[in-house]
């Protein structure tokens, strides 16, 4: 973790007073992302509890300060120029069993929730083994694999609305679709959730989790920084699980040979961009543009990014 005082605001704005105990200026964000790329946050606030998270959001809204929630930094590409306003780092990560369900705060890692199902002998979440990100991020983007997604297992989601109301909503209200929920359009912030599971054989649950992790280990980098799959798969009802893998198309057009600066396509998976060292957000964006161009030229398909670019335009 790095903290720089360079270019700190010469005068602390009045709105920062309620957050002063944890607030930091010009905090470099690269260490908080899985790609290890990103400039500084103008203001950075690590929220260790849901109460702190809600307080920070309400403070920013009341002061008219732009803010952004950051989870574990996967599936995002942060601008080299950083992010203006307040970055709230959600570290509220409690997980607990409730009958045959698991409650989880949004800042909990999805991988930790999966491992908890192994311990509790609860089945239904095995498909999520090895998926990057937090529970909140998984809900926001309706993460999934093997034909299943978060939409299939959620009992309810607790959100903070644009009007600062804490509400519990059901899956039907979440507007789930492929890699999509209503959170973005309605400006809902995920606070916590309950996933509906079922008792199962602990040996079978553990074996399935391990099998999926082993498969993912052959495709995803274990040492090089990455954001996971960069592009969304292409929806096609005639394909297996209703999707054509973007990696399949990228492989066919020779994307694995591409690199820009410190960014390169991962040799084992054509839909993964890695940081070989010193990569910038500009490198990644240029590389992604070249990957898209090759698929467009060959197949007439416009790939859509699954990784979200955050921060100041480059």
Q: Are residues 192 and 120 in the same domain?
A: yes
**Residue 276 CB-half CA count within 13 A:** 12
Q: pLDDT, tens digit, for every residue of 11-54?
A: 679 999 999 999 999 999 999 999 999 999 999 999 999 999 99
> 160 and 57 in contact (C-beta within 8 Å)?
yes
5 in a domain, yes or no? no
Predicted local confidence at residue 6, as pLDDT: 40
Domain end, chosen from 204, 233, 251, is at 204
The answer to whether the Cα torsion of 82, 88, 91, 97 is positive or negative is negative
To the nearest whole number, what is the mean pLDDT of the chain?
Answer: 94
215 in a domain, yes or no? no
301 in a domain, yes or no? yes
β-strands 189-196, 154-160: how paired? antiparallel
Q: pLDDT, tens digit, for every residue of 207-226?
A: 999 999 999 999 889 899 99
Q: Are residues 254 and 231 in the same domain?
A: yes
210 in a domain, yes or no? no
Residues in the chain: 314
Q: What share of the chain is helix, strand, coil (3-state, %, to 5)?
A: 30, 30, 40
CATH number for position 275: 3.90.78.10
CATH number for position 125: 3.30.465.10
Q: pLDDT, tens digit, for every residue of 101-143?
A: 999 999 999 999 999 999 999 999 999 999 999 999 999 999 9
1 in a domain, yes or no? no
Residue 2 has pLDDT above 80, yes or no: no
Token pair belonging to 314: 């480059």
Predicted local confidence at residue 11, as pLDDT: 64
Predicted local confidence at residue 8, as pLDDT: 45
Instruction: Specify which residues 263 forms β-bridges with.
Output: 260, 275
Question: Phi and psi at residue 23, in whole multiples of 5°?
Answer: -75, 140
Predicted local confidence at residue 240, as pLDDT: 83
Catalytic residues: 179, 229, 306
Q: pLDDT, tens digit, for every residue of 68-77?
A: 999 999 999 9
CATH number for position 57: 3.30.43.10
Residue 145 has pLDDT above 70, yes or no: yes
β-strands 40-47, 83-90: how paired? parallel
The residue range of the domain holding 246 is 223-310
| Number of domains forming the structure of the chain | 3
241 in a domain, yes or no? yes
Give me the percent of the chain exceeding a pLDDT of 90: 92
């Amino acid at each position: 973790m790095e903290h720089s005082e360079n270019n700190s605001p010469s005068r602390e704005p009045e709105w920062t007073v309620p957050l002063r105990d944890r607030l930091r200026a010009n905090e470099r964000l690269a260490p908080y992302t899985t790609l290890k790329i990103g400039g500084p946050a103008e203001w950075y606030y690590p929220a260790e509890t849901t109460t702190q998270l809600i307080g920070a959001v309400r403070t920013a809204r009341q002061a008219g300060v732009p803010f952004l929630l950051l989870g574990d930094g996967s599936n995002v590409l942060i601008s080299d120029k950083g992010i203006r306003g307040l970055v709230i780092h959600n570290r509220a990560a409690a997980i607990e069993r409730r009958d045959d369900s698991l409650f989880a705060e949004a800042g909990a890692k999805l991988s930790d929730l999966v491992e908890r199902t192994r311990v509790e002998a609860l089945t239904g979440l095995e498909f999520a083994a090895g998926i990057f990100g937090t529970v909140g991020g998984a809900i926001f983007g309706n993460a999934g694999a093997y034909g299943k997604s978060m939409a299939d297992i959620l009992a309810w989601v607790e959100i903070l609305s644009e009007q600062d109301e804490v509400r519990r909503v059901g899956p039907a209200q979440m507007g789930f679709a492929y890699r999509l929920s209503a959170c973005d359009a309605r400006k809902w912030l995920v606070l916590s959730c309950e996933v509906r599971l079922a008792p199962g054989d602990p040996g079978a649950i553990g074996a399935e989790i391990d099998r999926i992790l082993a498969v993912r280990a052959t495709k995803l980098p274990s040492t090089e920084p990455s954001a996971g799959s960069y592009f969304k798969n292409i929806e096609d009802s005639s394909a297996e699980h209703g999707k054509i893998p973007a990696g399949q198309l990228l492989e066919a057009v020779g994307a694995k040979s591409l690199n820009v600066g410190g960014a390169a396509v991962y040799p084992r998976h054509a839909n993964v961009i890695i940081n070989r060292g010193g990569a910038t957000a500009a490198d990644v964006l240029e590389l992604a543009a070249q990957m898209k161009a090759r698929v467009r030229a060959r197949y007439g398909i416009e790939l859509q990014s699954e990784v979200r670019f955050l921060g100041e335009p480059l």
